[in-house]
Amino acid sequence: MNTHTLTPAFARTVALGQQNIPSREKYEAAMRDIFERRYYTNQGPLAREFEARLQRFLDVRHAVCVANATIGLMMAFDALAARGCALVPAAGNPALLHALAWCGVDAVACDAETANGQLSIERAARLIADGKPDVLVGANLWGGACDAAALRSLGDQHRIPVLFDSLQAFGSTVSGVRAGAAGCIEVFSFGLDDVLYAGGGACVVTDDDAIAARLRNIRSSYGAGAPVSVERTSNGRMSEAQAALGLIGLDDFATHQAHNRKLFDAYRDGLASIAGVRVIEPSRAVRSNHQTLVCEIDVDSCGVTRDQLIQILSANHVEARAVAAGEVRGAHAQSLPAAARIGASWLLLPIGARVSVTDVKVIVELIASAVAGQVSRQGARA
């Protein structure tokens, strides 16, 4: 198959990631206040305001802001005193595995639900019966959610704490409740790929006062709030610059969410008629943040593999990426058929601030042409 057009469909790269960077005017105004106060980090006034607004937005007792999501996950595992092994989704964010490795916790991979890629509760129950892990980890992936209630029930039944990796779920609602209130501890990401951008920062949320106190004392060597005994500390403080960006992002969240929804609908409507291409709906989410667009490529139906499609899109300056799944390092040896299928056939397509509905229509045309056995030869588009 010829994977290159004579002239790429786009003159610029249509990139993955939300890229919700505020306007220069908003950014300069926020930075000016920081320099006038001469307070740049260490739980400053903007970081405290950001935490307070996150607590109201997510309806949680505590939001502890940190420098990045990997540090947030590391702190969360330490706050739960996880030391042996953690049951984790076989599909998800690599940051989770990095955090476990830093904490010296082994990963036990749990296979996914076939339809939506979320953690399989049935498989999790069997793994717990085989050997009790120190913590259960549920990931709320691709703007959707795992079966949080069922996972909490498993945790309660076996007296195992539950942590939710919600790096991709900020602002999504499940049964009328925003992600954040599902478990004893939950982690959100505010990087360039995320619907809320805070300079690569993150936050850890909980309704448990004791866990929150440990988190605030783990975050830095001199802690915040009431001092409590912790085994080790980090330098995970969120800067004032990150908090300023986060506050702007909260103001603009509804606009970004609505834009994502328009793009998602355009992809779903456009790809619906293409044989062998299935858009993955955000599972269990009454209202998703739609910060990612995931589709499954069935080579038997469409005649083109996921990886061939990535090459075709790349030649047309469209960034696409395989979904990471089925390769959990350090996992106990086991069969992960659903995750293996996801890792071989699921695809991420561009969605976010720098993508338009017109861009989506062109990307859909490229996919349709590839599936039809042709490569579109379109003129350059700005």
Give the CATH number of the domain where residue 263 resides: 3.90.1150.10
**Angle ∠(47,201,17) on CA atoms, nearest 5:** 135
Q: What are phi and psi of 149, to 5 degrees?
A: -60, -40
Phi then psi dihedrals of residue 153, to 5 deg: -60, -40
Percent of the chain at pLDDT > 70 equals 93
188 and 154 within one domain: yes
pLDDT of residue 221: 73
In terms of domains, do 265 and 335 share one? yes
Maximum pairwise Cα distance, the chain: 65
In a domain, 282, yes or no: yes
Instruction: Give yes or no for residue 177 having a pLDDT over 50.
Output: yes
Considering the domain architecture, whether residues 272 and 353 belong to the same structural domain is answered as yes
| Rounded Cα distance, 56 and 79, in Å | 23
Burial, 374: exposed, middle or buried (Cβ in 10 Å; 0-12, 13-18, 19+)? exposed
Residues 218 and 121 in one domain: yes
Q: How many domains does the chain have?
A: 2
Segment among 1-5, 170-174, 315-319, 331-335 with least mean pLDDT: 1-5
Domain containing 367: what range?
252-371
Report if residue 224 sits inside a domain.
yes
Domain's final residue, options 249, 282, 311: 249
Q: Is the pLDDT of residue 377 over 50?
A: no
165 and 154 in one domain?
yes
Q: Do 243 and 258 share a structural domain?
A: no
Q: Is the pLDDT of residue 279 over 50?
A: yes
H/E run at residue 92: none
Residues in the chain: 382
Q: What is the mean pLDDT of the segment spanning 254-268?
A: 98
CB 100 within 8 A of CB 106: yes
- Which of 249, 270, 293 is the last residue before a domain boundary? 249
Burial class (CB in 10 A: 0-12, 13-18, 19+), 364: buried
pLDDT band of residue 228 (cuts 50, 70, 90) is confident
Pick the range with the lowest mean pLDDT from 155-169, 299-313, 332-346: 332-346
Asked whether residue 379 is assigned to any structural domain, the reply reads no
162 and 151 in contact (C-beta within 8 Å)? yes
Backbone angles phi, psi at 326, to 5 degrees: 80, 10
Residue 267 and residue 318 in one domain: yes
Is residue 367 over pLDDT 80? yes
1 part of a folded domain: no
Q: Mean of the pLDDT values across residues 20-33?
A: 89
Spatial separation of the C-alpha atoms in residues 77 and 71, rounded to whole Å: 10
The pLDDT value recorded for residue 263 is: 98
Q: Given this model, what pLDDT does residue 72 score?
A: 96
Looking at the fold, whether 72 and 196 belong to one and the same domain comes out as yes
The arithmetic mean of pLDDT across residues 198-215, rounded, is: 95
If you average pLDDT over every residue of the chain, what do you get?
Answer: 90
Parallel, antiparallel, or unpaired: how do β-strands 162-165 and 173-174 relate?
A: unpaired
Answer yes or no: do 70 and 115 share one domain: yes
102, 162: one domain: yes
Query: Do residue 302 and residue 363 come from a single domain?
Result: yes
Does 377 reside within a domain?
Answer: no
Query: Would you state the structure tokens that stand for residue 160, as one six-digit string?
Result: 């195992």
Q: pTM for the full model?
A: 0.92
> Residue 351's pLDDT band (boundaries 50, 70, 90)?
very high
Q: Tell me: the pLDDT tens digits for 36-69?
A: 888 788 888 999 999 999 999 999 999 999 999 9
Residues 99 and 170 in one domain: yes
Instruction: Using the predicted structure, report yes or no on whether residue 230 has a pLDDT greater than 80.
Output: no
In a domain, 381, yes or no: no
Q: What is the CATH number of the domain that holds 47?
A: 3.40.640.10
Q: Which of 206, 225, 249 is the last residue of a domain?
A: 249
Name 159's Cβ contacts closer than 8 Å, sequence gap at least 6.
none
